[in-house]
Amino acid sequence: MLARRFPGGVLAVSTVSTVLVVDDSALMHRVYEVMLRDRPMLHAHDGDEALRLIDQRSDIGLVLLDINMPTISGFEVLDRLRAAGRVPGLPVIVITTEGRDEEAARGLAAGAAAYLTKPFRSEQIRDTIARLESSAKT
């Protein structure tokens, strides 16, 4: 088991797990490859591909999920993961361009572990992941 849920709802991610990046932007996939170059990574360009990979791969320990995608949105992916019982066990960080509080609240209520808005700096995403990882160690 690569991710655990702790009392208080804190999700934890193991440092050896694979990161699944879900985004329809090839640019953002490149951004994540550079920012998180020390981590094994899988890439999904839409929600359907993401759901398929999560189903097939047991090594995925963290999901970076873009909300604004054309076919099915990140919120819908999150809803399907929750219906399948995968979240909140599998840590999901929702990524969006909108900085509205209601979007953050919706993502967190749907089972996301954290929320980031684009454009973000590398230390922001690394700090968010580190925060989840530090919970795994305690």
- Which residues here bind another protein, judged by CB under 8 A? 25-28, 30-31, 34-35, 97-100, 117-119, 121-123
Q: Tell the burial category of 45 from Cβ atoms under 10 Å away from its Cβ (0-12, 13-18, 19+).
A: middle
| 36 vs 113 by CB, closer to another protein | 36
| 58 vs 122 by CB, closer to another protein | 122
Coil/strand/helix, residue 95? strand
CA distances from 105 to 1, 9, 134 (A): 27, 15, 23
Q: Using N-to-C axis directions, what is the helix angle for 74-83 and 47-56, rounded to 10°?
A: 30
For residue 74, the minimal CB distance to another protein (Å) is 14
For residue 28, the minimal CB distance to another protein (Å) is 6
For residue 23, the minimal CB distance to another protein (Å) is 9
| 29 vs 80 by CB, closer to another protein | 29
Query: Quick one: tokens of 69?
Result: 């995608």
